[in-house]
Amino acid sequence: MFMRQERVALLLLAGVAVAVLAAHVVLSTIGKQPFAHSFSSTTADGELVIVEGTVDQASVLANGGHLILQVNNISIFIPSEAARNLTLHEGDVISAYGTVQTYRGKKEIVVNSRDDIHVAAPS
Residue 96: pLDDT above 70?
yes
What is the structure's pLDDT at 41?
84
Is residue 32 helix, strand or coil? coil
What is the structure's pLDDT at 13?
97
Please indicate whether residue 7 or residue 2 has the higher confidence score (pLDDT): 7
| Cβ atoms within 10 Å, residue 21 | 10
Rg (CA), the chain: 20
Residue 105: pLDDT above 60?
yes
The Cα 107–Cα 92 span in angstroms is 22
Residue 107: pLDDT above 90?
yes
Mean pLDDT of the chain: 90
Residue 63: pLDDT above 80?
yes
Is residue 36 helix, strand or coil? coil
Cβ neighbors of 32 (< 8 A, separation 6 or more) are 48, 50, 97, 116
Q: What is the average pLDDT across 53-73? A: 90
Residue 14: pLDDT above 90?
yes
Query: Which CATH code, of 2.40.50.140, 3.40.800.10, 3.40.1190.20, 1.10.10.10, is assigned to 36-119?
Result: 2.40.50.140
Residue 123: pLDDT above 60?
no
